[in-house]
């Protein structure tokens, strides 16, 4: 394992790796361990008691964080005609036409979220090889394939702080909750909303302890273990 730099080691020295911190303590420590010249993203990592190899134990949902993520979200929408007009008026950054689709097929993915109307899924389906591995493929189950008045509402939510989360094959979730420059209260509010959403997404087939571990960290920062019983209370 490569040796960590001096600034990281100084930040890590502030964290007791054997201790489980309360939500408030963990948020305070996250802010106190920032040493980068940029404003890092704060993330929550969950270890879940599910087996994602089974279809009935998938964990996937979305949450709209009350204070957003602190960054501009570039939204691409696959739409045409009236749907394209609605998307543009709602603030979509890119309306994907045939030329855009060809660019994506060549590997261009300069956007954060992709949304599609059902009538465009025939064309969008050809982009799975590019969009799928990056988590950008529009999907009805994730709520990113919509039509009518649901389309502008989804675009506004996405730009305001709508976050999709999905368990990976190692039973973990990795979800951003904002920037380190947020106030402690803003990060706590976002954390509470996220934890509530993860709890609601528990599969009926999951047995035993559902949320087994929680870790709070920021970009390039040390891990801070969170007391799960406090966080889910």
Q: Which residue has the higher pLDDT, 214 or 166?
A: 214
> Rounded to an integer, what distance in angstroms lies between the CA atom of residue 2 and that of residue 195?
33
Exposed, middle or buried: residue 92 (CB in 10 Å: 0-12, 13-18, 19+)? buried
Q: What is the pLDDT of residue 3?
A: 74
Average the pLDDT over 42-47 and give the result.
98
**31 lies in which domain range?**
6-68+162-231
Cβ atoms 167, 21 nearer than 8 A: no
Strands, DSSP E only, in the chain? 41-48, 60-64, 75-78, 94-95, 113-116, 162-166, 172-179, 211-218, 224-226
pLDDT at 96 over 80: yes
| Other Cβ atoms within 10 Å of 179 Cβ, number | 21
Query: Is the same domain home to 217 and 146?
Result: no
Query: Is the same domain home to 54 and 166?
Result: yes
In the chain, how many domains are there? 2
Residue 22: inside a domain = yes
Residue range 167-188, pLDDT digits in tens: 999 999 999 999 999 999 999 9
Residue 182: inside a domain = yes
Residue 152: inside a domain = yes
Cβ atoms 79, 62 nearer than 8 A: no
- CA torsion 26→31→35→39, rounded to 10°? 120
Of the three residues 138, 159, 180, the one that is the final residue of a domain is: 159
Here the CATH number for the domain that contains residue 207 is 3.30.190.20
Query: Is the same domain home to 186 and 227?
Result: yes
Here the CATH number for the domain that contains residue 152 is 3.40.50.790
With bands split at pLDDT 50, 70 and 90, how would you rate the model's confidence at 2?
low
Query: Is the same domain home to 61 and 97?
Result: no
Average the pLDDT over 86-93 and give the result.
96
Residue range 183-192, pLDDT digits in tens: 999 999 999 9
CA distances from 7 to 19, 37, 114 (A): 22, 11, 37
Cβ-proximal residues to 204 (8 Å cutoff; 6+ apart), any chain: 56
Query: Is the same domain home to 172 and 146?
Result: no
Query: Is the same domain home to 176 and 64?
Result: yes
Query: Is the same domain home to 146 and 122?
Result: yes
pLDDT at 88 over 60: yes
Q: What is the pLDDT of residue 133?
A: 87
Query: Is the same domain home to 206 and 143?
Result: no
Q: What is the pLDDT of residue 143?
A: 87
Residue 1: inside a domain = no
Q: What is the pLDDT of residue 146?
A: 95
Question: In the predicted model, what is the mean pLDDT of the chain?
Answer: 94
Rg of the chain taking only CA atoms, in angstroms = 19
| Other Cβ atoms within 10 Å of 88 Cβ, number | 16
Element (H, E) at 153: helix 150-160
Residue 132: inside a domain = yes
Query: Is the same domain home to 146 and 119?
Result: yes
Query: Is the same domain home to 100 and 124?
Result: yes
pLDDT at 72 over 90: no
Residue range 135-161, pLDDT digits in tens: 899 999 888 999 888 999 999 999 988
Residue range 106-137, pLDDT digits in tens: 999 999 999 999 999 999 999 999 999 888 99
Query: Is the same domain home to 84 and 148?
Result: yes
> Coil, helix or strand for 128?
helix
Q: Model pTM?
A: 0.80
Average the pLDDT over 50-61 and give the result.
94
Write the DSSP symbol of residue 21.
B
Of the three residues 129, 159, 189, the one that is the final residue of a domain is: 159
pLDDT at 1 over 60: no
> Rounded to an integer, what distance in angstroms lies between the CA atom of residue 206 and that of residue 209?
8
């Amino acid at each position: 394992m490569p040796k960590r730099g001096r600034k990281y080691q100084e930040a890590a020295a502030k964290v007791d790796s054997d201790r489980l911190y309360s939500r408030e303590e963990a948020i305070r420590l996250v802010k106190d361990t920032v040493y980068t010249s940029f404003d890092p993203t704060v993330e929550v990592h969950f270890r879940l008691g599910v087996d994602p190899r089974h279809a009935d134990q998938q964990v996937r949902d979305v949450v709209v964080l009350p204070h957003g993520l602190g960054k501009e979200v570039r939204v691409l929408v696959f739409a045409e005609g009236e749907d394209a007009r609605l998307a543009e008026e709602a603030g979509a950054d890119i309306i994907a036409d045939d030329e855009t689709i060809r660019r994506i097929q060549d590997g261009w993915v300069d956007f954060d979220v992709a949304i599609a109307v059902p009538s465009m899924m025939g064309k969008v389906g050809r982009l799975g090889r590019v969009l799928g591995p990056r988590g950008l493929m529009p999907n009805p189950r994730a709520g990113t394939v919509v039509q009518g008045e649901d389309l502008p509402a989804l675009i506004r939510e996405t730009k305001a702080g709508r976050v999709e989360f999905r368990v990976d094959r190692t039973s973990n979730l990795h979800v951003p909750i904002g920037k380190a420059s947020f106030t402690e209260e803003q990060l706590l509010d976002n954390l509470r909303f996220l934890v509530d959403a993860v709890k609601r997404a528990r599969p009926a087939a999951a047995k035993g302890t559902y949320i087994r571990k929680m870790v709070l960290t920021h970009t390039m920062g040390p891990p801070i273990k969170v007391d799960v019983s406090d966080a889910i209370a």
